Chains A and B, each alone.
Chain A
Amino acid sequence: MQLTINGNLRNFDLASFNVAHLIMILALEGKRLAIECNGEIVPRSQFLEKQLKDGDKLEIVSAVGGG
């Protein structure tokens, strides 16, 4: 399965997995972030339910220093 994450294409060996799995695979567990899938926000409460599919475009964002 191929996903676009923060503008970069990434291949995954798994056929299907959810957003919570993706966070584990990317070693982002415990970090405060927000996720958008195909332009729609995925609320944290739905990380387990939200199944990802081939071609999905994800944005994963966090807070950084800014003025």
Chain B
Amino acid sequence: MADSLKIADKTYQSRLLVGTGKYKDFAQTRAAIDASGAEIITVAIRRTNIGQTVGEPSLLDFLPPEEFTYLPNTAGCYSADDAVRTLRLARELLDGHKLVKLEVLGDPNTLYPNMIETISAAKTLVKDGFDVMVYCSDDPIIAKKLEEIGCCAVMPLASLIGSGMGILNPWNLQIIIANANVPVLVDAGVGTASDAAIAMELGCQGVLMNTAIAAARDPILMASAMKKAVEAGREAYLAGRMPKKLYSASPSSPTSGLII
């Protein structure tokens, strides 16, 4: 049976979800996303530039919504009301599209999520018919609460957004994964391919990243590395790693038939 990621009744072959921000230009954005193999891509909702942009290409010209599953986000929102308002606009913008990424930030320096506002927004959005993938702190109780509210995926941070610090608390992630009945994806903090592989080895259903690819010296090569890391980590998780044995080394070669 094919190993696919299922979110809100839709299946995906790629477990790598990528952002579309911070690239040099749209062509580089497109090339990196192609190299990543991602099927779900996040976008932000912002005021349209009026006046000086006639004929200027848009993100959608390079990444047609027919080819990808768009995941509009609420980046930059600091209240539940702003997040809900943003995603209602996104739904209108994308012809009734229901799958969204909710994030409500709590502090402009750390971009740490405000979970009180996030929970409030999640309740409203679920009631309103959205399929909510929710960015959250790596608190197992909060993660469970978000699942109970009806979020279709829980996405704890590995470390702060854009920090590239990697997975700071694998133990909490493991508890969240063990208790979850919805997909758990690491969102934010991944810095390099090994971080993505570790997230997948822990049992995450997927990884969402932007800066780790966009801020690499060669974003397209890093996108390819991330694709492989997510696949490798997933396979390692499914394969089931050998137990760690601190004080009982076991040779891989026969112990009999030695010439000495």
Contact = CB atoms under 8 A, between A and B. Distances in A.
Interface of A: 5-8, 26-28, 31-36, 39, 41, 43-44, 59-67
A8 B52 CA distance: 14
Contact of B211 (A5, A31, A64, A67): A67
B73 interface: yes
Contact of B45 (A6, A31, A41, A63): A63
B50 interface: yes
Contact of B22 (A28, A31, A59, A65): A65
B50 A28 contact: yes
12 contacts: A5-B50, A6-B50, A31-B48, A32-B60, A34-B45, A35-B92, A60-B48, A63-B70, A63-B94, A65-B21, A65-B23, A67-B42
A55 to B, nearest CB: 18
Contacts of A26: 50-51
Interface of B: 19-23, 26, 29, 42-48, 50-51, 54, 58-60, 70, 72-73, 75, 85, 88-90, 92-94, 161-162, 209-211, 214
| In the complex, the 7 A-B pairs of residues with the closest C-beta atoms, listed nearest first | A66-B44, A67-B19, A67-B210, A34-B93, A65-B20, A34-B92, A65-B21
A26 B51 CA distance: 7
Contacts of B85: 36, 39
Nearest to A29: B54
Given A7-B47, A62-B93, A63-B44, 7 more contacts: A35-B92, A61-B89, A64-B45, A67-B19, A67-B20, A67-B21, A67-B73
A26 B244 CA distance: 65
Nearest to B73: A66
Nearest to A36: B89
Given A32-B60, A32-B93, A34-B90, A62 B46 contact: yes
A4 to B, nearest CB: 12
A64 B92 contact: no
